[in-house]
Structure 1
Amino acid sequence: MFGNSGSGKSTLAKRLCGTEGLSHLDLDLVAWLPVVDGDIPKRMPISESKQRVESFMSQQKSWVIEGCYIDLVDLVSEKATEMIFLDLNEQACKDNAKSRPWEPYKYESKAAQDANLAMLIEWISQYYQRGDEFSHHSHLAFFNRYTGHKTRLVENISTSVD
């Protein structure tokens, strides 16, 4: 599962885990080296990220893996039973980012997460202009060339329970 920041990847992944009994891997956890003394975050070498992703998949019967990293999504594409592209518009992603709950596995506190919000909103805004692996262009190109079962969602799925 892939898409812009704030597109609802983690929310949908958690929902699928709850309803389908899947294990969840957020690619943020295998994409970055630990930040030391406030340094600028740096990507983990792709070989190490690949090893961590493969280890996760080998230890799980069924899983959902989500992130915005097409180089890492591509690593799992042959073993995936479905690819989901969350292709929400910019404003929906911004609104989702502003209302996201605290992610304790990423941030030491809700205040630390909120301190990062302005940067995240700017990142979301750049999605259609960037040309890197995190861009709409790269996500759409991957989606179009993927030949397995795939779904493209252009709006949030309701999380209400009737």
Structure 2
Amino acid sequence: MTKVVIFGNSGSGKSTLAKDLALRGKLAHLDLDTIAWKPVHPPERMSVSESSIFINDFLNDNNNWVIEGCYSDLLEMVIPRADEVIFLNLPISSCIANARSRPWEPHKYESKEAQDANLDMLIDWISHYNSRTDTFSKTAHEKLFDKFHGNKTMYVSNEHRT
């Protein structure tokens, strides 16, 4: 069985890597963005207990998977069941460049225009990765990575892409 968890800053390439691994390994793919937020505007985070229902359903329905996101509080639920973790620990400048060039994500935004309207806020948020202390922070991700005792890899660039 293959069970991979990918985490890092927004714009680090989590979704791209997860989609590639899912395709090559025939793995079920869960983007935590799809289960972390209520479908309201302005965005409002779902409670961890609400999100955990979706996570448990996904884990129960799939033996081989890749799960990706920046939510340490949610990732803590799945890492004990993972075979491997990948921490995309890219420089902030690379994450910002990736965010600027990201294709439309229809599972997150109703249009490319709606996605682009959020770009300035996203870039500001990305830029505070190293100084934040929340569940989305570099500090929280480093703790997840350090705590995992299985197969783990840290990438500091997107050069791992094939």
Q: Tell me the TM-score range normalised by the shorter chain.
A: over 0.9
Secondary structure of the residue aligned to 1:157 is helix
Q: Percent identity?
A: 54
Match of 1:152 in 2: 154
Within 1, Cα distance between the matches of 2:141 and 2:63? 27
1:10-29 to 2 correspondences below 5 Å: 10-29=15-34
Within 1, Cα distance between the matches of 2:100 and 2:153? 25
Alignment length (residue pairs): 157
Tell me by how many angstroms 1:157 deviates.
3.3
Tell me by how many angstroms 1:57 deviates.
1.3
Within 1, Cα distance between the matches of 2:113 and 2:72? 29
Tell me by how many angstroms 1:2 deviates.
0.5
- Per-residue CA deviation, residues 77-125 of structure 1 (Å, 9 max, x unaligned), is 1111101100000000001001111000000000110111101100100
Secondary structure of the residue aligned to 1:83 is strand
Higher strand share: 2
Tell me by how many angstroms 1:61 deviates.
2.4
The farther-off stretch of 84-93 and 56-65 is 56-65
Secondary structure of the residue aligned to 2:103 is coil
- Per-residue CA deviation, residues 38-93 of structure 1 (Å, 9 max, x unaligned), is 3x322111111111001011111211000000011110011111011000000000
Match of 1:46 in 2: 48
In the alignment, does 2:70 pair up with 1:62?
A: no
Match of 1:136 in 2: 138
The farther-off stretch of 59-68 and 3-12 is 59-68
In the alignment, does 2:104 pair up with 1:96?
A: no
- Contiguous gaps of at least 5 residues in structure 1: none
In the alignment, does 2:113 pair up with 1:108?
A: no
In the alignment, does 2:33 pair up with 1:3?
A: no
What root-mean-square deviation, in Å, do the aligned CA atoms of Structure 1 and Structure 2 show? 1.1
Within 2, Cα distance between the matches of 1:83 and 1:159? 16
Match of 2:87 in 1: 85
Secondary structure of the residue aligned to 1:152 is strand
Secondary structure of the residue aligned to 1:77 is helix
- Contiguous gaps of at least 5 residues in structure 2: 1-5
